[in-house]
Chain A
């Protein structure tokens, strides 16, 4: 019963979950699978440049809706074309932040502008006076080792033994 309840909660949460990037195209001809695995059944063959809607992600696989048919494709087989960003989709407290440079400058920027226009510019940085009080505050948020380890346990994050791979090694 508890399992059913948590399953239902999970499904409800998924239904509300909007991925910040929801539109993509296949970047090569690829298979749409019924599960997130290479050995899963192929439900459709998608030609290159098929428009898809992102539904979910799980490791190497991305769940998509392709022409009304749901299935899984390899994450690397998708491309995400540049779009005009209206400020992300999360909509929470971080959304709609105004520029720290005060009203007039922030308001002079079009709201549909590409990201990066407001905020930190090279000129802003070059002209900035060091803010020692802000640095002290930032330092006060540092996490010590036991806190980080407890945080990992809470998230069920376990240490995995992985060697440096070819290429990441010096």
Chain B
């Protein structure tokens, strides 16, 4: 027993040095595997780095909302739902941007962006849960990563595995290795910059993927104790608020809300048993989203 404790103490003390070595080993190992199989895949770390770097660009275009309690509220609702997904331990980051635009985005690795314009048009926490669960579903299913990987040019993949752990740069807060911020490798930062310039994150996903995300969203929100019909209410709001003239709106990144409602009508009745005691939490919602 004492030996185990000593061993753990040694590992903890040697932690930072070991971490770099492990990182190198993992990088070299992955490079070898990719050369062998021609595999083109992002590691989870790269996925997170890509999403956090893209988030920094979104926040450069549209500022983070100044209301700290609103930010924490949205993060709590979102994390609670994410805990019911297959990827509960990603560094889930929910950012409310201060804009009248009605929109929400899912970025790889667990970064979700919602506009204050969207929040103030929702009626309840159950509707917010439906919206966040939809974006969480895109991350859990790696919808964007799949699209990115298929579109990446060969010269991008040449770089994969060539950088080592020591090359990582910090993005966001905290020190390298702390739980607060994130790190990314230089080629991931370049990829994020190129995807942003290319408008990738504003482009529509196909209706099949949106439908899958809607259906998974209903399951995740229900598992989290919310009324399954929250997303239905949010989509009815979107149908009513369909805007024009802005390609960055949720209406170009998604099929029409009316189409999505039609798809959901076939699916949601299976969840109706869970709608008997709806958890709308309007009072808490209105207290936080003023």
Bound together, the chains give a CA A19 to CA B64 distance in angstroms of: 26
B147 to chain A, nearest CB (A): 16
Of the candidates A94, A125, A143, A164, the one whose C-beta lies within 8 Å of that of B57 is A125
Binds A, one of B8-16, B27-35, B150-158, B221-229: B221-229
Which A79-93 residues have a C-beta within 8 angstroms of B?
79-83, 85, 87-88, 90, 92-93
Chain B contacts of A94 at CB under 8 A? 116, 119-120, 289-290
Structural contact, A122 and B245, CB atoms closer than 8 A:
no
Chain A contacts of B276 at CB under 8 A? 59
Bound together, the chains give a CA A139 to CA B240 distance in angstroms of: 33
A135 to chain B, nearest CB (A): 4
Chain B contacts of A2 at CB under 8 A? none
Interface string of B116-142 (1 = CB under 8 A from A): 110111111100000000000000010
Chain B contacts of A97 at CB under 8 A? 98-100, 116-117
Which B234-248 residues have a C-beta within 8 angstroms of A?
236-237, 239-248
Which A120-170 residues have a C-beta within 8 angstroms of B?
120-122, 124-132, 134-145, 147-149, 151-152, 155-168, 170
Structural contact, B62 and A119, CB atoms closer than 8 A:
yes
Structural contact, A120 and B97, CB atoms closer than 8 A:
yes
Binds A, one of B18-26, B36-44, B77-85, B160-168: B77-85
A98 to chain B, nearest CB (A): 9
B67 at the interface (CB under 8 A from A): yes
Residue with the greatest number of chain A CB neighbours at <10 A, chosen from B91, B173, B202, B289: B173
Chain A contacts of B80 at CB under 8 A? 143, 148-149, 151-152, 157
B9 to chain A, nearest CB (A): 25
A3 at the interface (CB under 8 A from B): no
Structural contact, A143 and B267, CB atoms closer than 8 A:
no
A99 at the interface (CB under 8 A from B): yes
Q: Which residue of A lies closest to B74 (CB)?
A: A141
A115 at the interface (CB under 8 A from B): yes
B145 at the interface (CB under 8 A from A): no
Knowing A125-B57, A125-B199, A152-B80, the reply to whether A142 touches B93 (Cβ < 8 A) is yes
B278 at the interface (CB under 8 A from A): yes
Of the candidates B52, B237, B279, the one whose C-beta lies within 8 Å of that of A21 is B237
Chain B contacts of A159 at CB under 8 A? 84, 223-225
B141 to chain A, nearest CB (A): 7
Bound together, the chains give a CA A19 to CA B278 distance in angstroms of: 17
B144 to chain A, nearest CB (A): 15
Q: Which residue of A lies closest to B224 (CB)?
A: A157
Q: Which residue of A lies closest to B227 (CB)?
A: A59
A43 at the interface (CB under 8 A from B): no
Q: Which 3 A-B pairs have the closest CB atoms?
A: A136-B173, A59-B275, A119-B99
**21 intermolecular pairs with C-beta atoms under 8 Å apart:** A59-B275, A59-B278, A76-B268, A113-B245, A114-B242, A115-B243, A116-B103, A119-B100, A121-B247, A125-B61, A128-B58, A128-B60, A134-B60, A135-B171, A136-B172, A142-B79, A143-B79, A156-B279, A159-B84, A167-B212, A168-B218
